[in-house]
Amino acid sequence: MPSTAPQRLAFIGFGEAASAIAAGLSEAHTGIEMRAFDIKSDSDDDAIREQLLTDCNAAGATACATLAEAIDGAELIFSLVTADQAAAAARSAAPLLAPGQQYLDCNSCSPGCKADSARLIAATGACYGDVAVMAPIHPARQRTPLLVAGEQAAQQQALLEGLGMNAKLMPGAVGAASTVKMLRSIMIKGMEALSAECFLAARRAGVEENILASLDKSFPGFDWYPRAGYNLERMRRHGIRRAAEMQEVTATLTELGMANDMARATTAWQQRIGDMQLDDSSTDLILQADTILERLGGRSG
């Protein structure tokens, strides 16, 4: 690891993304101190708190009881919470930050939200970075592509690259990286929602084979059956988080003076399926469709 790489890292939020990045960094480097704070540590559910400790230990991070403990002395702070909690995380962190600390807002929220958070962080003398995570966190983990924007983006990119992370500079002010992320999500999360509406309706009508055959003919090589199954699995597992992100996409489009019909419809589908809290691990399209249709109260087959 380069001598200029940061040695003390902190994570605000320790879900799938943070734990994957921390685990990758822990395996790739020795001598890094990583601390984490997640609101799950305040849960009344013993199982939730124990799972957080397990996740932190597995990733090589120390679970902290307070946010202050986690970020004290950290050179690089990764904020990786759900989109609807990004602003709250920045507000909570701001009074605890010291001049020179790097606060990387890696959350999927609108440019306006990030600009508001940046003003809070900058007022403390700490440095705010607008970071967009541009691909699924698995399997690349700490090597997942990132975009970094803002006044200190060049310095922050260098720090991330010093850790062996895959960060690219996005020219522009805070919000430039998040704009790319938000507008990309219209397509990525929108395709998931389209898959749900199309194939759930097809399964209910009993014409899924006809739909698949027609789509495979129109888009050869796209592999609709496994792709649509994967899309449904993503919505089942992460629909609530994706819905929160799509609400930020809706806000982004409003900030741009654009209609947001597709973003709002995508939000509804992501929330609807995420709320089902289906815990099976199947990625098979038909098996998932039948389970979801049963929850929706419709017939299938």
* pTM flag (> 0.85): yes
Mean pLDDT along residues 243-260: 97
Place of tokens 């990625």: 283
pLDDT tier at 155 (50, 70, 90 boundaries)? very high
Helix (H) or strand (E) holding 214: helix 208-218
Bond from prior residue into 6 cis (ω within 30 degrees of 0): no
Residue 9 three-state SS: strand
Q: Residues 40, 114, 168, 181: which is the catalytic one?
A: 181
CB 150 within 8 A of CB 167: no
pLDDT digits (tens, 9 = 90+) for 202-217: 999 999 999 999 999 9
pLDDT single digits (tens) 64-83: 999 999 999 999 999 999 99
Q: Provide the residue type at 150 as one letter.
A: G
168 is catalytic: no
Task: List the beta bridge partners of residue 33.
Answer: 8
Place of tokens 């789509």: 215
**pLDDT given at position 30:** 87
Q: What is the pLDDT of residue 140?
A: 97
Strand segments (E) across 67-226: 76-79, 102-105, 127-133, 146-149, 167-169
Which tens digits make up the pLDDT trace of 11-23?
999 999 999 999 9
Which percentage of the chain shows pLDDT scores above 90? 95
Report the 10 Å Cβ neighbour count for 140.
15
Q: What is the pLDDT of residue 1?
A: 52
pLDDT given at position 5: 83
Between CA 236 and CA 8 the distance in angstroms is: 35
Count the Cβ atoms, other than its own, within 10 Å of residue 94.
18
